[in-house]
C-alpha cells in the first residue's frame, strides 16, 4: 500500500470519530490536533451541503466573462490567482472581507469583484460570497442562478427580511450572491447604519472559511466606497485603461484608507 495515500475508509473513520466526540458530555475538546481535525471536518461537511441548482457551462461562463479552471485565457485566470494569493498572504486568514471599487465609473469594478470571488471559490474547501453594493447600477442578477426577488437594500430597510432570503446561488460552485435589490438614493445612509454592521458580521461568521467580496460603486463618483471600507480587511482599486489619472488613483487610496488599501488592478476589458 502506498503510505502517502490515506486508506479508502479514512474519511469514514474520521466521521465516526467526530460523531463519538459529539456525544461526549464530559467537557470541551482540549487537544489542539483533535480540535483542528474536528473543525476541518465540519467545514467540509458544511461546504458539501451547499446546493447549486444550476452549474453554468463553459459557454455560459465565457458569456458572463467569469474565470474558471481550464479556461483558454490562462493569463487572466493566473492574474486573479495571484491577487488571491497576495491577499491570503497579507491576511493569513480564511475569513476576510475584500472591497473592490473602480477609480472611474463603468471602470470594470464588477468584473473584477465577481471574478475575484469566483477565484476564491475554485478551492474545493473554501466558499465565497459576492455582495453587490451598487444599487445605482446593479448587475448581480446575471450572476444569480435563481430569479432575484429581494436584495441587500430590502434587507437593510426592512428588519423582517431574513438574511437567508437575500442569498442566492450562482452558477459557480461554492459561490453565493447577494444582489443589491431595488435602487435606492439613500444607499450611503443604509451602508453607514448599525444594520449594515450587523449584516457584515453575520455573513462573515456564518462560515469560518468564507471569503466575502463587496462590489462598491466608483470611489470617485460616490461616497459608498468610502463608507463600506470601514467593514473590509482589504480594499482593491480597479484602474480602467485610459480613464484615470495619477491624482485620481491617489484620491481613491485616501478614500478607502491607506491601512486597508491592498493594491491596484488595471482593467483593459
Question: Is there a single domain that holds both residue 19 and residue 86?
Answer: no
Distance of CA 134 to CAs 71, 140, 146, 214, 221, Å?
28, 9, 20, 9, 12
Is residue 132 in some structural domain?
A: yes
Do residues 33 and 130 share a domain? no
In a domain, 194, yes or no: yes
Q: Give residue 158's pLDDT.
A: 93
| The predicted structure's pLDDT at residue 228 | 96
At residue 177's C-alpha, the angle toward residues 122 and 127, to 5°, is 35
Q: Are residues 117 and 198 in the same domain?
A: yes
Q: 37-55: per-residue pLDDT in tens?
A: 444 444 444 544 455 568 9
Mean pLDDT score, 153-176: 94
Q: Are 219 and 104 in contact (CB under 8 A)?
A: no
For 77, 249, 259, the CA distances from 120, given in Å and listed in that order, are 11, 26, 23
CA 42: distance to chain centroid? Answer: 20
Q: Establish if 242 belongs to a structural domain.
A: yes
Same domain, 34 and 115: no
0.85 exceeded by the pTM?
A: no
* pLDDT tens per residue across span 118-152: 999 999 888 999 999 998 887 878 899 999 999 99
* Whether 43 and 68 share a structural domain: no
pLDDT value of position 235: 97
Q: Are residues 14 and 64 in the same domain?
A: no
How many structural domains are present in the chain? 2
2, part of any domain? no
pLDDT band at 242 (very low <50, low <70, confident <90, very high): confident
For residue 32, what are the domain limits? 10-48
Q: What is the predicted pLDDT for the residue at 27? A: 53
Q: Residues 96-113: pLDDT tens digits?
A: 999 999 998 888 999 999
In tens, the pLDDT along 76-98 reads 999 999 999 999 999 878 789 99
Same domain? 41 vs 145: no
Same domain, yes or no, for 101 and 185?
Answer: yes
Q: Is residue 189 part of a domain?
A: yes
pLDDT at 30: 61
- For residues 77 and 164, state if they share a domain: yes
Q: pLDDT category, 184, cuts 50, 70, 90?
A: confident
Answer yes or no: do 40 and 110 share one domain: no
Smallest Cα–Cα separation from 129: which of 96, 169, 176?
176
Mean pLDDT of 11-29: 53
Same domain membership, residue 15 and residue 147 = no
How many angstroms separate the CA atoms of 139 and 52, rounded? 20
Residue pair 222/189 in contact by the 8 Å Cβ criterion = no
Give the mean pLDDT of 192-208.
90
Amino acid at each position: 500500500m502506498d503510505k502517502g495515500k490515506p486508506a479508502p475508509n479514512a474519511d469514514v473513520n474520521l466521521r465516526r470519530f467526530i460523531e463519538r466526540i459529539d456525544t461526549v458530555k464530559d467537557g470541551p475538546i482540549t487537544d489542539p490536533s483533535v480540535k483542528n481535525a474536528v473543525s476541518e471536518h465540519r467545514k467540509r461537511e458544511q461546504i458539501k451541503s451547499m446546493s447549486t441548482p444550476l452549474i453554468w457551462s463553459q459557454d455560459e461562463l465565457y458569456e458572463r466573462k467569469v474565470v474558471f479552471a481550464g479556461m483558454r485565457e490562462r493569463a487572466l485566470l493566473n492574474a486573479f490567482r495571484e491577487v488571491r494569493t497576495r491577499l491570503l498572504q497579507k491576511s493569513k486568514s480564511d475569513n476576510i472581507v475584500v472591497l473592490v471599487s473602480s477609480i472611474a465609473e463603468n471602470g470594470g469594478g464588477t468584473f473584477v469583484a465577481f471574478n475575484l470571488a469566483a477565484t476564491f471559490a475554485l478551492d474545493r474547501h473554501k466558499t465565497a460570497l459576492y455582495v453587490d453594493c451598487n444599487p445605482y447600477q446593479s448587475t448581480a442578477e446575471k450572476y444569480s442562478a435563481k430569479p432575484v426577488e429581494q436584495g441587500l437594500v430590502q434587507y437593510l430597510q426592512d428588519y423582517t427580511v431574513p438574511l437567508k432570503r437575500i442569498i442566492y446561488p450562482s452558477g459557480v460552485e461554492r459561490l453565493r450572491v447577494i444582489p443589491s435589490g431595488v435602487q435606492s438614493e439613500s444607499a450611503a445612509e443604509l451602508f453607514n447604519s448599525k444594520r449594515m454592521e450587523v449584516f457584515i458580521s453575520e455573513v462573515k461568521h456564518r462560515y469560518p472559511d468564507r471569503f466575502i467580496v463587496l462590489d462598491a460603486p466608483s470611489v470617485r463618483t460616490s461616497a459608498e466606497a468610502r463608507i463600506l471600507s470601514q467593514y473590509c480587511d482589504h480594499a482593491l482599486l480597479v484602474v480602467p485603461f485610459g480613464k484615470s489619472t495619477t491624482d485620481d488613483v491617489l484620491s481613491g487610496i485616501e478614500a478607502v484608507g491607506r491601512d486597508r488599501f491592498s493594491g491596484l488592478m488595471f482593467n483593459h476589458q
